[in-house]
Structure 1
């Protein structure tokens, strides 16, 4: 079994699934993709929304029911994106596991890599030029942390339009 950890920032599109699967065509052993999709916790969502207007807390703290509802909605939306991504890979004949990451995505990726003993890591995100330049993006952090081949792909962008 050839296990691949696939950390995605957003729901996969058909192009993304096709490209990921094409990377492993011709392997002699079956491939299993282990998808990991980060979702913001309700607490971090509330904190970021409360401080979006310039620093301090501009809204009163939310009541527990509001936080619980927000958390459920964030998880529901994340699970829907994850389920759609799994379906795309399964439509292409792939074996897939999937989970939401509610904590730091890199910590969750490291835990997944150790638990499953993955052979490689693929990080698929939007372009984050400044973070990439400063090596603060998920792929750079994964390379520093994991002793595994790590590939960074831009989501929804054909291979020939991104520099590999």
Structure 2
């Protein structure tokens, strides 16, 4: 019987994200349950500060991040499940109607998961003040929550 790792992501998973996830436990039978929020609930001002801190211009033509931000949640979820399947992983998922951290906590409990992963792009304000999803989820769950930055192998400080 496989164990479940619950993954909260704010945008469609990338191939690099799937590679990072599957590398966590290559010797164990693991299934993934992806939670993608219908709305992130992020402030536009905080989003602008985040993008400027990464030297991104929010209205830049062809901005891949802006395009994925506009993807419908159902499409983003399916894209994430497809990426995990291509990486050889078993995955299910849901679009959460509630707040992202509350949805992650509910999914961890529903799947009796002992591990949770949050995958986001860097968020200067939340990461600096430890109000990011991973830190908040860790406080609510009482178990370690790994925070990975999308498209890289960098680990957040939660």
Q: For 1:82, which of 70, 77, 85 is the aligned residue?
A: 77
* Larger-gyration structure (1/2): 1
Q: 1:106-162: per-residue Cα shift (whole Å, max 9, x none)?
A: 1111111111100200000011122112111100001101022210000012x2x55
Q: For 2:111, which of 107, 116, 119 is the aligned residue?
A: 116
Deviation >2 Å, runs of 4+: 161-164
Partner of 2:132: 137
Q: 1:6-52: per-residue Cα shift (whole Å, max 9, x none)?
A: 0001001111111111111122xx101000001129xx79xx89xxx
Give me the TM-score of the superposition, normalised by structure 2. Answer: 0.75
In the alignment, the residues of structure 2 paired with residue 139 and residue 40 of structure 1 have an alpha-carbon distance, to the nearest angstrom, of 17
Give me the TM-score of the superposition, normalised by structure 1. Answer: 0.72
Structure 2 spans left out of the alignment, 5+ residues: 45-68
- What is the Cα-based RMSD across aligned positions, in Å? 2.5
Partner of 1:153: 148
In the alignment, the residues of structure 1 paired with residue 4 and residue 155 of structure 2 have an alpha-carbon distance, to the nearest angstrom, of 24
Aligned positions, number: 132
For the residue of structure 2 that corresponds to 1:98, the secondary structure is: strand
Partner of 2:47: none
Structure 1 spans left out of the alignment, 5+ residues: 50-73
* CA shift in 2, pair 1:140/1:31, >3 Å: same
Is it true that 1:33 corresponds to 2:32 in the alignment? Answer: yes
Partner of 1:15: 16
In the alignment, the residues of structure 2 paired with residue 11 and residue 100 of structure 1 have an alpha-carbon distance, to the nearest angstrom, of 12
For the residue of structure 2 that corresponds to 1:90, the secondary structure is: helix
